[in-house]
Amino acid sequence: MKKLLLLLPLALLLTAPMARAQLVHSEKSLYREVLVYEENGERCMCFTRQCRIGRQSCIFLNDAHRFALNYTRMMLAGTLFTGPPPRRLLIIGLGGGSLPTALREILPQAEIDVAEIDPAVTRVAKRFFNFREDPKMKVIELDGRVYVKRAIRSGVKYDAILLDAFDHEYIPEHLLTREFLAEVKSLLTPQGVVIGNTFSSSKLYDHESTTYADVFGTFYNLKAANRVIVARPAGLPDEGSMRAKAQEYEKILSTFGVDALSVLPMFTTRTDWDVKARVLTDQYSPANLLNH
């Protein structure tokens, strides 16, 4: 618990507005304005001026290899600690590309598909955040749900699916529903895992929680400024097996500034939401109202 508390100030700092930051790039797309700011040795991608509603991705200018945001540590732990090493991964939402870039280094033989709706985000990730595609890692410029539906029809299966898509306010509402999560679940291999990045202080918190529980049953809840949900339909691994995995990846994760063992206390199945909250569905997903 003490280690978790030590993470909180850093996480809150990294998600605060960049009031005195220098704007180094801006471009408008069909979906949003994609902005790049620099401040105090960090470069961040944002979808709002001065990053007033969170940061999509950040890197340290003097060490782009090291993770700048806590949620990336949490998502990486959920991906690597909960089952066999994934051989094929799907990431919905590219941002600056920190997660796929790290996973490419940690899992050099894995195939990584990234669904990103906005070509401007892909361009900015490549120009300002060192993201690179390769023969086994490609970006598919499609809405995440459209890609999932096409993947279902094609029969492809994934060992890990990371949900990390945000617009300028929050997760798009069609990527929050029971129907969408059921579609994602159907793409998993028998030991596959879903890792979803959300907020820990959203008015949607209760609804998101009951929706994930409705589709996946018990899940791991990791919380700092962001919340990461880790669900595995085959059943969650116990602490001992996750600790063994953390030790296995400890050396390489340390190169990204991640203390693998310190993340383990964040994994909890404790219910801290209203279990009577209404499940989000395609017919009921008023994210724009519930999240304000």
Give the pLDDT mean for 278-289.
82
Residues 131 and 41 in one domain: no
Task: Supply 268's token pair.
Answer: 């909890």
User: Which one of the listed residues 159, 164, 259, 282 is annotated catalytic?
Assistant: 164
pLDDT at 17: 57
pLDDT at 1: 31
Question: Residue 137: what residue type?
Answer: M
Residues 130 and 256 in one domain: yes
Instruction: Determine how many CB atoms are found less than 10 A away from the CB of residue 241.
Output: 13
Domain hosting residue 39, numbered range: 2-67
Residues 181 and 94 in one domain: yes
Residues 61 and 201 in one domain: no
Residues 16 and 37 in one domain: yes
Assess if residue 279 is contained within a domain: no
Residues 161 and 54 in one domain: no
On the question of pLDDT at 3 being above 70, the answer is: no
Residues 111 and 145 in one domain: yes
Residues 94 and 228 in one domain: yes
Give the pLDDT mean for 98-112.
97
Give the pLDDT mean for 19-48.
92
Assess if residue 288 is contained within a domain: no
On the question of pLDDT at 261 being above 80, the answer is: yes
On the question of pLDDT at 97 being above 70, the answer is: yes
Residues 85 and 41 in one domain: no
Q: Identify the CATH number of the domain in which residue 194 sits.
A: 3.40.50.150
164 in active site:
yes
Residues 121 and 241 in one domain: yes
pLDDT at 286: 72
Give the pLDDT mean for 98-120.
97
How many structural domains compose the chain? 2
Mean pLDDT of the chain: 90
pLDDT at 19: 62
List, in order, residues 6 or more apart from 77 with CB less than 8 Å away. Answer: 222, 246, 258, 260, 263, 264, 266, 267
Is residue 4 very low, low, confident or very high in pLDDT (cuts 50, 70, 90)? very low
On the question of pLDDT at 90 being above 50, the answer is: yes
pLDDT at 7: 33
On the question of pLDDT at 25 being above 60, the answer is: yes
Assess if residue 24 is contained within a domain: yes
Assess if residue 152 is contained within a domain: yes
Residue 112 has phi, psi (to 5 degrees) of -125, 115
**Which pairs with CB-CB distance under 8 Å and at least 24 residues apart come from 237-246?**
237/81, 237/82, 237/83, 239/264, 239/267, 242/81, 242/82, 242/267, 245/80, 245/81, 245/82, 246/77, 246/81
Residues 60 and 103 in one domain: no
SS3 of 170, please?
coil
* Rg, Å, the chain Cα set: 18
